[in-house]
Amino acid sequence: MLSSEGLPRPVVRSATLSRRFQKFLLVGAIGLGVNQSLLFTLVSLAGLAVGAASPIAIGLSMVVTFALNERWTWHDRGSGPLLQRALLYGSINSGGLVINWLTLVSLDQWGWNYLVANLVGAGIAAIWNFSLNHALTWRR
């Protein structure tokens, strides 16, 4: 393994941020699996409307991703009580929930498959979620 010793600070910061974003994407993929599975179950098997099922699926995936991000992605950052980080994460990701939901519902109304539309919405929301959680929830 290469040492970062002697490298310019901006290079080290950039590499660290890149690794953290990769972890965030992996955790997000797990959360997306939870989201997609629950969305499919609620819509296709339980008969809920897409617009009603989506926030439930996203909410459960938020719980899963918070736990994984807390323990792995940002294990070395964050201060203060865990509950404080959880509430901030929930607030930030609620913005992501709205982004995802609006995208999903709009694309669904335009005739897109709801699971594909959910992927697009989740991708857009991921940028919002990472940026704000990195800067606020798990700041140094």
- pLDDT tens digits along 1-44: 556 677 788 888 888 888 888 998 899 999 999 999 999 999 99
- The CA distance from 2 to 23, in Å, is 19
Determine, yes or no, domain membership for 70: yes
Determine, yes or no, domain membership for 1: no
* Angle, helix 9-40 to helix 50-68, in steps of 10 degrees: 140
Query: Which of residues 2 and 77 earns the better pLDDT score?
Result: 77
Whether 107 shows a pLDDT value over 80: the answer reads: yes
Which domain, by its residues, includes 103? 10-137
Determine, yes or no, domain membership for 113: yes
Across 7-21, 69-83, 97-111, which has the greatest mean pLDDT?
97-111
Asked if 98 contacts 58 with a C-beta cutoff of 8 angstroms, the reply is no
Determine, yes or no, domain membership for 4: no
Whether 97 shows a pLDDT value over 90: the answer reads: yes
């669904």: which residue's tokens? 108
Whether 56 shows a pLDDT value over 70: the answer reads: yes
Determine, yes or no, domain membership for 41: yes
Query: Which of residues 75 and 96 earns the better pLDDT score?
Result: 96
Determine, yes or no, domain membership for 58: yes
Determine, yes or no, domain membership for 5: no
What average pLDDT does range 88-98 have in this prediction? 93
pLDDT for the residue 7: 74
What's the structural domain count of the chain?
Answer: 1
Determine, yes or no, domain membership for 105: yes
HEC profile of the chain: CCCCCCCCHHHHHHHHHHHHHHHHHHHHHHHHHHHHHHHHHHHHHCCCCHHHHHHHHHHHHHHHHHHHHHHHHCCCCCCCCHHHHHHHHHHHHHHHHHHHHHHHHHHHHCCCCHHHHHHHHHHHHHHHHHHHHHHHHCCC
